[in-house]
Amino acid sequence: MDWWRWGKDARGRSPWARGRVLALLAVLTAGLLAFHAAVPNTVGRLGSLLEAFLPWLGLAIPVLLGLALLRRSVTALVALLLPAAVWADLFGGLLLAGDRGAHDIMALQHNVSDENIDPAGTAVALIESAPDLVALEELTPSALPVYETALASDYPYHVVEGSVGLWSRYPLAEVRPMDIRPEGIGEGWRRGLRSSVRTPWGEIAVYVAHLPSVRVRLNGFSSGWRDESAGLLGAAIAAEKLDRVILLGDLNSTVDDRGLVPVTSQMNSAGRGFAFSWPAAFPASRIDHIMTRSATVTDVWTLPATGSDHLPIAAGIKFGP
Does the domain at 105-318 match CATH 3.60.20.10? Answer given as no
> pLDDT at position 3, please?
47
Burial tier of 153 (Cβ tally within 10 Å: 0-12, 13-18, 19+): exposed
Residue 33 scores a pLDDT above 90? yes
How would residue 167 be classed by pLDDT, with cut points 50, 70 and 90? very high
Give the pLDDT mean for 124-138: 97
How would residue 1 be classed by pLDDT, with cut points 50, 70 and 90? very low
Give the pLDDT mean for 137-147: 98
Residue 289 scores a pLDDT above 50? yes
The bridge status of strand 133-137 relative to strand 172-177 is unpaired
Give the pLDDT mean for 247-259: 94
Q: How far apart are CA 138 and CA 155, in angstroms?
A: 19
Residue 219 scores a pLDDT above 70? no
Runs of H (alpha helix) within the chain: 20-34, 46-52, 60-71, 74-79, 81-91, 119-128, 144-151, 224-238, 261-264
Residue 42 scores a pLDDT above 80? no
Peptide bond into 279 cis (omega under 30): yes
Residue 312 scores a pLDDT above 50? yes
> Shortest CA distance to 109 belongs to which of 316, 276, 318, 314?
314
Residue 218 scores a pLDDT above 70? no
Each residue's pLDDT tens digit, 90-103: 888 777 655 565 89
Contacts of 252 (CB under 8 A, 6+ apart): 211, 212, 213, 214, 223, 226, 287
Provide the percentage of residues in the chain whose pLDDT is more than 90.
74
